[in-house]
Structure 1
Amino acid sequence: MGLLGVESVADRVAALTGREVAATIALGASHEWQLHRVELADATSVFVKETATERPELEGLFRAEALGLNWLAGSFGSPVPRVLGWDARTLALDWVEQDEPSPAAAERFGHQLAAMHLVGADRFGADWPGFIGPLPLDNTPTRNWPEFYVQRRVLPYLERAVNRGALTPADARLVEKVLDRVEELAGEPEPPARIHGDLWNGNVMWGTNGVTVVDPAAHGGHREADLAMLSLFGLPHLDRVRDAYNHAAPLADGWKARIPLHQLHPLLVHVCLYGAAYRTTTIEAARTALRVES
Structure 2
Amino acid sequence: MNDFVKNADSAPTGYLAAEAAGLRWLAEPQVVPMVEVLEEEKKTLRLARLETVPPTAEAARELGRGLARLHDAGAPSFGWTPADGAWFGPLESPFAVPNTPNADFAGYWADDRLRPLADNVTRTLGADGHDTVDEAIDIIADGAFDGVSGQGEEQPARVHGDLWSGNLLWTADGATLIDPAAHGGHRLEDLAMLSLFGAPFLDEIFEGYEAEHPLPGDWQQDLPAHLFFGLLAHVRIFGEAYVDQTIATAESIIDRADQLGF
Q: TM-score, normalised by structure 1?
A: 0.81
Structure 1 moving runs of 4+ over 4 Å: none
Separation of aligned partners in 1, 2:165 and 2:184? 21
Does the alignment pair 1:155 with 2:115? yes
Q: Percent identity?
A: 37
Conserved in 2, the CA contact under 8 Å of 1:260 and 1:288?
yes
**Which of 166, 169, 189 is the matching residue for 1:225?**
189
Aligned residues: 246
Separation of aligned partners in 2, 1:256 and 1:73? 27
Conserved in 2, the CA contact under 8 Å of 1:79 and 1:113?
no
SS at match of 2:53: coil
Corresponding residue number in structure 1 for 2:6? 49
Conserved in 2, the CA contact under 8 Å of 1:193 and 1:222?
yes
The correspondence of residues 13-162 of structure 1 with structure 2, limited to 5 A, is 39=1, 45-51=2-8, 53=9, 55=10, 58-127=12-81, 128-133=84-89, 134-162=94-122
SS at match of 1:108: helix
Q: Residues 142 and 253 of structure 1: is their aligned pair in 2 closer, same or farther, counting only changes over 3 Å? A: farther
**Which of 137, 162, 170 is the matching residue for 1:198?**
162
1:58 is displaced (CA, Å) by: 1.3
Separation of aligned partners in 2, 1:219 and 1:277? 28
1:195 is displaced (CA, Å) by: 0.2
Does the alignment pair 1:167 with 2:131? no
- Taking CA–CA contacts closer than 8 Å with sequence separation of 6 or more, which of the two structures ends up with the larger relative contact order? 2
Q: Which has the higher helix share?
A: 2
SS at match of 2:130: helix
Separation of aligned partners in 2, 1:92 and 1:152? 31
Separation of aligned partners in 2, 1:169 and 1:87? 44
Conserved in 2, the CA contact under 8 Å of 1:75 and 1:119?
yes
SS at match of 1:129: coil
Larger-Rg structure: 1
Separation of aligned partners in 1, 2:45 and 2:155? 31
Conserved in 1, the CA contact under 8 Å of 2:35 and 2:47?
yes
1:156 is displaced (CA, Å) by: 1.5
Separation of aligned partners in 1, 2:40 and 2:145? 40
1:254 is displaced (CA, Å) by: 3.7
1:253 is displaced (CA, Å) by: 5.2
Separation of aligned partners in 1, 2:48 and 2:195? 27
Q: TM-score, normalised by structure 2?
A: 0.90
1:93 is displaced (CA, Å) by: 1.2
Q: Which has the higher strand share?
A: 1
Separation of aligned partners in 1, 2:160 and 2:190? 7
Of 98-107 and 254-263, more deviation after overlay is shown by 254-263
Query: What 5-or-longer segments of structure 2 have no aligned partner?
Result: none
Separation of aligned partners in 2, 1:144 and 1:64? 23
Conserved in 1, the CA contact under 8 Å of 2:31 and 2:67?
no
1:223 is displaced (CA, Å) by: 0.3
Of 71-80 and 238-247, more deviation after overlay is shown by 71-80
